[in-house]
Structure 1
Amino acid sequence: MKKELQVATFAGGCFWCTEAVFDRLRGVEHVVSGYTGGNIKNPAYREICTGRTGHAEGIQIFYDEDIIGFTELLEVFFATHDPTTLNRQGNDVGTQYRSAIFYNTIAQKEASEVFISALEKERIFANPIVTEITELDVFYNAEADHQNFYNANKEQPYCQFVINPKIKKLNTYYANKLKTT
């Protein structure tokens, strides 16, 4: 009998970046890139890029909570993107690149609120955290060419200049949480 996996839904800028980070964590079975938090049904990437649909580029993380917990996922989430910039991650600008947690359960909502409160109390970031915490409504899977993007396109300049530093940071600070190949 296969264990039921838990699902976490995050938006932290470009989904190529967040997928690449979370896919490497032990206990994460798979990660799906997609769109959530918007106001039209079945959006396509070309529509998301305009910023007019209200969707964020997000990921769904399917994980085994006996190996990695939701709070550990939050820790990695906040360590690998800037939660203090509204509708922006680096050079990626627009509501589709906002920082957000789309909770699936009240426990995830409460854990997210507690985690952000602790970060703010400890003044971990120089600026206030603007990460939204919103109940997940619907998640639309991105097109096939956006799935597993980093692993399939490591030589592309975007991957080398934007994603590689995130992977390096993950390897440096979270080596004990990484999958062994």
Structure 2
Amino acid sequence: MTLGQRLQHARKMRHMTQAQLAEAAELGQPAVSKIEKGDTQETPAIARLAAAVQVPTAWLERGLGPEPNWSSPAVGVAHSVSQLVVETVPTMTWEQIQMTDRDKLPPVFRVQIDDAAMAPRVPSGAWVQFDRRVTPRPGDGVLLRDSTGGVCFRYYRAGRPGCWEAHAENAAYAPLDSQRDGLEILAVLTAVEGRWS
């Protein structure tokens, strides 16, 4: 993890907003945002930031030592549920996904299905959520990129050793082979939004 990633992780574990962290560390909120985004790799305020999120300075600055104990409450918080932290899941288009390298995709994102390959289980127009940090298991829904750069949503199926296949729910769509079609798994399906009826 980078300094920015450690700071953001510590801030969230302490249930703090960027504005609260900035105030506690006597910084401006834009400065905290720049550090978390990785735009700033060093800061003279590292000790104040570490104190504000109650972590050792060496861990925050360089990742040295064990990860801090997150069970102790943050300063100024009566208990761990005093503050609600809300995170949003970014919405992406298929075009954005096609033009983005796997490691540049958000960890979790949502997209609207634009074909009938997974119908009727996931019909065209349904909103789905993917997580690129999840390792796929046979039977999982996966978001794939093929050797031509095309992106699609299919079932992950184990194949012969060293290979796997991607199948559509709809039989009108041909199966894909990981080696023949040069498939790359971008993310694993974690949610389908919508009603059951």
Task: Please tell me the TM-score bracket, short chain as reference.
Answer: under 0.3
Q: Which has the higher contact order (CA 8 A, sep 6+)?
A: 1
Bigger proportion of residues as helix: 1
Scaled by the length of structure 1, the TM-score of the pair is 0.24
